[in-house]
């Protein structure tokens, strides 16, 4: 006959410690697998060092559109420069990002000016962090991973308080290991914007990734922005290119 005896406090304490340890080890394994996947996603989106040509289209609620064409160079997970090729009024303007530090160079203005990740050098919904996006694994850690074989869902937490988004939810195409959708949140849990990756394209040399990135935001009803990649090509780039003194020369590096 079973008796309803209370377990000794010592046994309860040991069981609790074992449960916590198992939970911690499982969480650690998930995070390691998730961070490994995130680095793979970064490399699928772009080579470690590359050049690209892309167009950004800002669309207002009334249908008005404004287009920008940009030439970009990126190296490692913390260096990126961009220069405007169109419209005519923007030609010569350049941006530089080193880690979380960003600058804008405007011809005939003088020295480069500091800018922030949440500002936008083109207006619209894409902010400077979106336009000068570094590797996701450089800015975020995976805290949760859900795998249903067809699509993975990663929850990412910012490593520092200086990044544009405190938390990201990233849906992943399991076959190609690339994002299909990203939701960006503030520290309070408010949805800032949603990014939609579309039109998977073969850019050559093993780069198979979305050519189109669209965004909308509950904070900007009726507004929309589209980023279209014309090319992404691996390229060797000197570190000198990613300096304040080189910002007025970026346009000359386009082959």
How would you classify the pairing of strands 151-158 and 65-75?
unpaired
Q: Residue 112: CB partners within 8 Å, gap ≥ 6?
A: 96, 103, 104, 105, 244, 247
The CA-atom distances, in angstroms, between 230 and each of 15, 114, 177, 212 are 58, 29, 21, 9
pLDDT at 189: 95
pLDDT at 23: 44
DSSP class of 90: G
pLDDT at 2: 44
Q: Residue 156: CB partners within 8 Å, gap ≥ 6?
A: 38, 136, 140, 141, 142, 143, 167, 168, 169, 170
Instruction: Give the integer Cα–Cα distance in Å for 232 and 213.
Output: 14
Q: Is 18 helix (H, G, I), strand (E, B) or coil?
A: helix
Both structure tokens of 222: 């009726």
* pTM (two decimals): 0.85
- On whether the CB atoms of residues 67 and 208 are closer than 8 A, the answer is no
pLDDT at 165: 95
pLDDT at 26: 42
Both structure tokens of 25: 């080890």
pLDDT at 6: 57
pLDDT at 255: 77
Instruction: Give the integer Cα–Cα distance in Å for 120 and 107.
Output: 18
CA-based nearest residue to 94, from 102, 110, 83 = 83
- Mean pLDDT in consecutive groups of 10 residues from the start of the chain, 255 residues: 56 58 49 89 93 97 96 95 96 95 92 94 95 94 84 92 93 92 96 96 92 96 96 95 95 88
Sorted by where each starts, the structural domains of the chain and their CATH numbers stand as 39-253 (2.50.20.10)
């Amino acid at each position: 006959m079973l008796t309803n005896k209370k377990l000794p406090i010592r046994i309860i304490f040991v069981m609790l410690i074992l449960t916590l340890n198992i939970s911690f080890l499982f969480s650690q394994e998930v995070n390691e697998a998730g961070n490994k996947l995130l680095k793979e996603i970064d490399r699928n989106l772009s080579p470690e060092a590359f050049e690209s040509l892309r167009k950004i289209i800002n669309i207002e609620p009334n249908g008005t559109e404004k287009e920008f064409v940009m030439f970009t160079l990126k190296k490692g997970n913390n260096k990126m420069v961009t220069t405007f090729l169109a419209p005519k009024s923007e030609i010569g303007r350049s941006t530089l990002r080193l880690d979380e530090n960003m600058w804008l160079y405007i011809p005939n203005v003088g020295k480069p000016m500091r800018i922030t990740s949440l500002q936008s050098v083109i207006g619209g919904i894409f902010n400077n962090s979106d336009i000068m996006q570094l590797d996701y694994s450089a800015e975020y850690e995976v805290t949760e991973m859900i795998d249903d074989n067809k699509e993975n869902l990663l929850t990412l937490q910012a490593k520092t308080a200086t990044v544009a988004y405190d938390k990201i939810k990233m849906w992943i195409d399991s076959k190609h290991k690339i994002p299909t959708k990203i939701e960006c949140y503030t520290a309070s849990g408010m949805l800032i914007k949603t990014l939609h990756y579309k039109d998977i394209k073969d850019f050559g040399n093993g780069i198979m990734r979305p050519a189109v990135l669209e965004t909308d935001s509950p904070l900007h009803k009726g507004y929309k922005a589209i980023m279209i990649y014309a090319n992404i090509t691996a390229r060797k780039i000197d570190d000198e290119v990613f300096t304040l003194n080189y910002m007025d020369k970026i346009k000359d590096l386009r082959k």
